[in-house]
């Protein structure tokens, strides 16, 4: 599937980003060019090659599970959007339906 307007709209919806029609138009053309360059990956033979998620030679880092002081709540909430604090909680819009 090549990148066209509907793909950009669908993927932007998955990424939770509102785009204007002009942005959809512009990004479609630009991303077609970028994906054209990325297609070159198909030329590389990767039979029997394992994928690398990271080059770090470290796996499963463990530490003691200890209680430590957290951040100061007032400093954390100071960054909340206006009306975004409700006591010791962040306020969000209703997600679930009311009970009938």
Tell me the longest C-alpha to C-alpha distance in the chain.
59
Q: Does 4 sit near another protein (CB under 8 A)?
A: no
Cα distance between residue 24 and residue 8, in whole Å? 6
Q: How big is the site for another protein, counted in residues (CB under 8 A)?
A: 57
Interface pick for another protein out of 2, 21, 53, 87 (rule CB under 8 A): 53
Rounded to a whole number of angstroms, the CA Rg of the chain reads: 23
What are the residues whose beta carbons fall under 8 Å from the beta carbon of 25, sequence distance 6 or more? 5
Read off the tokens for 96.
């679930």
Q: Does 37 sit near another protein (CB under 8 A)?
A: yes
- Footprint on this chain of another protein (rule: CB under 8 A): 1, 3, 7-8, 11-19, 23, 26-27, 30-31, 33-35, 37-44, 46, 49-58, 61, 63, 71-72, 75-76, 78-82, 84, 90, 92-95
């Amino acid at each position: 599937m090549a990148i066209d307007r509907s793909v950009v709209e669908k993927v932007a919806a998955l990424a939770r980003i509102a785009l204007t029609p002009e942005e959809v138009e512009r990004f479609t053309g630009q991303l077609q060019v970028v994906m054209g360059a990325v297609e070159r990956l198909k030329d590389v033979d990767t039979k029997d090659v394992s994928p690398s998620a990271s080059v770090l030679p470290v796996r499963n880092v463990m530490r003691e599970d200890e209680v430590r002081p957290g951040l100061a709540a007032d400093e954390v909430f100071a960054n909340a959007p206006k009306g975004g604090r409700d006591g010791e909680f962040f306020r969000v819009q209703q997600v679930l339906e009311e009970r009938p």
